[in-house]
Amino acid sequence: MSDGLLTWSELERLADSQEDRWVFEGLLRQGELVLFHGAPYSGKTTTTCELAVAAATGSPFLGFPVPEKHLILFVNADGAHERTLRNRFKRAVKPDGVDAWNRRFYSVATNAMKLPLDAEFLRLKIEAVQARFGAEERGIVVIDGLRTGLLVGEAANVENDSASMSRILRPIRNLARETGWVILVLHHSNRSSGDYSGSAAIPGATEGVWSIERHETSKTSTLRVKTRDAVLPALRVMEHEGGLQLAGNLNSASPDGDAVTNFVEQFPTDEAAGWTRDDVVDKGLATEKTVAKALQRGLEGGLVQTGRGRKGSPFRYHRRCVRVDGSTSA
């Protein structure tokens, strides 16, 4: 390979050597750069804290097993007070995980922050953590957030420029691959679309895009995970005293009542804003294979169907509005 070219056999041998090593089995691999976006109060911070604590203490995250404990390096580019960070993470740490969390959590000191962050700075901090804990250890770098951490000094709206975002993100993606550390970058959702704010180059330079949203009237959030390999079924999550928990998955063979209720809660109450079958799939609430059955269960659980089911007048679905007196209206 002196000329920099790989034969098919050489590529296959290299691929075989790249064994999957999971942080959370079936959800997140080591060495991945992931963007996680959500609107304020959508549950993004809570989910991130729960994820970090689960990885450090070896506890399952939303049912996904943790094969081994990982280190956590938190980069507080947003400049949140240490008091705020402590309270956020402390809520997620269970009594039997305190010792592991104390040993495996690190945060970059505010006076040691070099903005904008780049791959070399992050590499030095990863190596500093490994020097304290062990050179072979792997972990998760959480960067909070994209704009305050990586785009300082860049032109306004730079996240919409494909060339700039590729220039900024690709060295960090390469760092994740080289070190085996996950680099999780937090970002804000676009207010109008609910999608991440920025260019298509952002997912192009990452291994995955996670999103979370919560409707104003709902007690639960919807977590969606897209990777280069697959789009996972949407996860309905709810905050409890004992931490973040799954609130049900409507795509399972026998969804429980909570799953149906949570599915219905996502729909608008305004008939004019009703969703089509394709909308339901696009929002990750069901797959092409499960959407028909999901909508049928939804109709039994409070959805209303309008339209004629043909071109120009597709079926649309909204949920009944519950009045203060307990009565409903379509």
In this structure, the answer to whether residues 272 and 131 fall within a common structural domain is no
pLDDT digits (tens, 9 = 90+) for 14-56: 888 877 899 999 999 999 999 999 988 888 999 999 999 999 9
pLDDT digits (tens, 9 = 90+) for 79-121: 999 999 999 999 999 999 999 999 999 999 999 999 999 999 9
What's the mean per-residue pLDDT of the chain?
87
Task: Please state, for a pLDDT cut of 70, what percent of the chain lies above it.
Answer: 90
Reduced to 3 states, what is the DSSP secondary structure of residue 143? strand
**Residues 206, 183: Cα–Cα separation, whole Å:** 10
- What confidence score (pLDDT) does residue 191 get? 63
- What confidence score (pLDDT) does residue 326 get? 40
Ranking 90-104, 208-222, 243-257 by mean pLDDT, the lowest is 243-257
264 contact partners, CB below 8 Å, separation of at least 6: 298, 301, 302, 303, 319
Neighbour-count burial of 88, counting CB atoms closer than 10 A to its CB (0-12 exposed, 13-18 middle, 19+ buried)? middle
- What confidence score (pLDDT) does residue 294 get? 87
Task: Note the residue count of the chain.
Answer: 330
Please report the sign of the dihedral spanned by the C-alpha atoms of residue 230, residue 234, residue 239, residue 241: negative
255 contact partners, CB below 8 Å, separation of at least 6: 248, 249, 263, 297
Provide the residue range defining the domain that includes 273. 257-329
Instruction: Decide if pLDDT at 240 tops 80.
Output: no
- What confidence score (pLDDT) does residue 256 get? 54
Task: Taking residues 66-87, report their average pLDDT.
Answer: 96
Instruction: Decide if pLDDT at 321 tops 50.
Output: yes
DSSP character for 167? H
**Residues 42, 210: Cα–Cα separation, whole Å:** 13
pTM score, whole prediction = 0.75
**Residues 317, 276: Cα–Cα separation, whole Å:** 6
In this structure, the answer to whether residues 57 and 195 fall within a common structural domain is yes
- What confidence score (pLDDT) does residue 251 get? 54
Among 158, 185, 213, identify where a domain stops. Answer: 213
In this structure, the answer to whether residues 268 and 185 fall within a common structural domain is no
- What confidence score (pLDDT) does residue 322 get? 42
In this structure, the answer to whether residues 32 and 150 fall within a common structural domain is yes
Backbone angles phi, psi at 66, to 5 degrees: -115, 105
| Separation in Å, CA 305 to CA 143, 251, 299, 312, 320 | 43, 20, 7, 15, 10
- What confidence score (pLDDT) does residue 71 get? 99
Instruction: Decide if pLDDT at 258 tops 80.
Output: no
In this structure, the answer to whether residues 174 and 286 fall within a common structural domain is no
In a domain, 145, yes or no: yes
Reduced to 3 states, what is the DSSP secondary structure of residue 45? helix
Residue 231: strand pairing partners? 226
In this structure, the answer to whether residues 57 and 198 fall within a common structural domain is yes
In a domain, 252, yes or no: no
Task: Taking residues 7-14, report their average pLDDT.
Answer: 92
In a domain, 47, yes or no: yes
Residue 317: strand pairing partners? 275, 305
Ranking 38-47, 112-121, 214-223, 267-276 by mean pLDDT, the lowest is 214-223
In this structure, the answer to whether residues 180 and 272 fall within a common structural domain is no
In this structure, the answer to whether residues 28 and 155 fall within a common structural domain is yes
In a domain, 251, yes or no: no
Backbone angles phi, psi at 318, to 5 degrees: -140, 170
In this structure, the answer to whether residues 44 and 163 fall within a common structural domain is yes
Most confident option among 14-23, 138-147, 148-157: 138-147
Residue 324's pLDDT band (cuts 50, 70, 90)? very low
Ranking 1-15, 88-102, 217-231, 247-261 by mean pLDDT, the lowest is 247-261
The CB density around residue 243, as the number of other CB atoms within 10 Å, is 18
Number of domains in the chain: 2
In this structure, the answer to whether residues 200 and 262 fall within a common structural domain is no
**Residues 169, 205: Cα–Cα separation, whole Å:** 6
Please give the residue that has the higher pLDDT: either 9 or 308.
9
- What confidence score (pLDDT) does residue 286 get? 80
Among 155, 185, 213, identify where a domain stops. Answer: 213
Please give the residue that has the higher pLDDT: either 173 or 325.
173
Please give the residue that has the higher pLDDT: either 220 or 71.
71
Beta-sheet pairing, 243-248 with 139-144: unpaired
Return the CATH number at 43.
Answer: 3.40.50.300
Return the CATH number at 265.
Answer: 1.10.10
In this structure, the answer to whether residues 171 and 301 fall within a common structural domain is no
Ranking 72-86, 110-124, 180-194 by mean pLDDT, the lowest is 180-194
Asked if 320 and 314 touch (Cβ cutoff 8 Å), the reply is no
